Chains A and B, each alone.
Chain A
Amino acid sequence: MIAIIDYKAGNLKSVERALNKLGFSCRITNGKEEILSAERIIFPGVGAAGKAIEDLTHLGLDKTLRQAFETGKPVLGICLGAQIILDKSEENNARCLGLIEGKAKSFPSPLFSVKEERLKIPHMGWNDVCLIGKHPVLEGMMPHDEFYFVHSYYPMPASNEFIIGTTDYGMDFPSIIGNKNLIAMQFHPEKSGEPGLRILKNFCMWDGHHA
């Protein structure tokens, strides 16, 4: 069973629907035991970091997530779930989970493209991901695949060793990060068509190890 962590942050149903489509059983839950006994965990989220951490902590799920991560269970963070796994966020100055050293940063404003066009915040729409390393969850990803983003902050790990993929939006920012059995992406794989579904499928079969 795959646990989709429910802390009232955004549309968890779309992740559930995508997994169902792929034929994997999952449950949207905030039950600690259910999360700890799950085979793997998806940690989604939209909204503001401060409120998200507050809600997580209130439910006691901050500890549960840390515990699950430490036991080696595969964990997938999506969107805000790729930011609040860091130590802190510039958004609401929130102290976060600290599963990866680093912080979530806001895009500089104003932001310009190489053609000197002013870029809007949030970064919304389809964009490329340039892979830095190999990862079992990203198996089959093609260089021209694009993914759906919507965010104003991005994850910035303290060390490059945690960066798996980057995206260009006026600057190169880390769009896929990971640490051991944890992988997290700023874009929404559940809204990124077939290339996104492929990532979810890979995650659902990943053993949490990677070379």
Chain B
Amino acid sequence: MLSKRIIPCLDVRDGKTTKGIKFKENVDIGDPVAMARFYYEQGADEIVFYDITASSDRRDIMIDVVHRVAEEIFIPFSVGGGIRTIEDMRAVLLAGAEKVSVNSEAIKKPKIISQGAEAFGSQCIVLGMDVKRVEASKSIPSGYEMVIHGGRTYTGIDALFWAKEGERLGAGEICLNSIDADGTQDGYELTLTSLISENVNIPVIASGGAGNIDHMFDAFTQGKADAALIASIVHYGTYTIKEIKENLHAKGVKVRRTWG
């Protein structure tokens, strides 16, 4: 039976992770390669890197990080942020990432999804979705709207429509981030997560709001998510990935429990 995936997310700026990480172990805090290695050994099922480097001429730094990560860890990892062209995708995939995620660029230029899927295969293309709850209307019937620029700009695109459209264009997976829940640690947006997950036939990663293990349990059960993205609750040492997995297993969620 397929396991639910637990995926730590690392924000990287200019080649350094941005969150203040409190590890007991001797990990070079701020070094994305060391952190990826740490989570790999801890039993992460996959790792997501989000490049928040502002200037595009510093992209090579991220490519170098991807190269070094690929030599250290032997599980899939994806890279998002700043992917604007097929060439950007190619650079990241050739450097060793398994998947590449597109977000606002896909909204501006949906063809990047189909072109990417054609060039590299659907399994490589993750559609990143930033979503905000709004009042349901004629143009936003689901009551969830696609937003960009960290939630500051509304696009007028319905999130459910966009998820289906992304699948039709060839995305192999959706990383669904609720801007409302993000950073709250109050739990994932379960209504949104199940709405999207039940209406597409590709895997959905729930993102935004994880504060404890019960939240992850809810995302997998009520939210029907295939995977859960986590950040603070592991970065700040609240839980180890092993603790999360043992706890979920005890509650009857199928997770990968051995990796030695």
Contacts and interface: CB of A to CB of B under 8 A. Distances in A.
A190 B74 contact: yes
Contacts of B173: 124
Interface string A183-197: 000000011111111
Contacts of B227: 125
A36 interface: no
B245 to A, nearest CB: 11
Interface in A140-154: 142, 144-146, 148, 150
Given A120-B202, A196-B74, A169 B2 contact: yes
Interface stretch (B50-58, B210-218, B252-260): B252-260
Interface of B is mostly: loop
Contact of A126 (B2, B70, B121): B2
A47 B45 CA distance: 23
Nearest to B123: A150
A18 B74 CA distance: 7
A121 interface: yes
Interface in B112-164: 121-123
A60 interface: no
Interface residues of B, number: 31
B256 A191 contact: no
Interface residues of A, number: 37
A11 interface: yes
A17 B256 contact: no
Interface in A89-142: 113, 119-128, 142
Interface string B63-99: 0000000110011100000000000000001101010
A125 B259 contact: no
A120 to B, nearest CB: 5
Interface in A12-30: 13-14, 17-18, 20-21
Contact of B45 (A17, A18, A120, A126): A126
A124 B123 contact: yes
Nearest to B94: A13
B11 interface: no
B3 A146 contact: yes
Contact of A21 (B40, B74, B201): B74
B202 A192 contact: no
Contacts of A14: 70, 96, 98
Given A120-B201, A122-B172, A168-B1, A17 B70 contact: yes
A194 B259 contact: yes
A120 B203 contact: yes
Given A191-B74, A191-B75, A192-B74, A17 B2 contact: no
A150 B99 CA distance: 12
A47 B170 CA distance: 13
A127 B1 contact: yes
A20 B70 CA distance: 12
Contacts of B76: 148, 191
Interchain residue pairs A-B with the least CB separation, the first 6: A126-B3, A146-B256, A126-B256, A144-B258, A150-B123, A193-B259
6 contacts: A13-B70, A21-B71, A120-B201, A125-B5, A128-B1, A142-B258
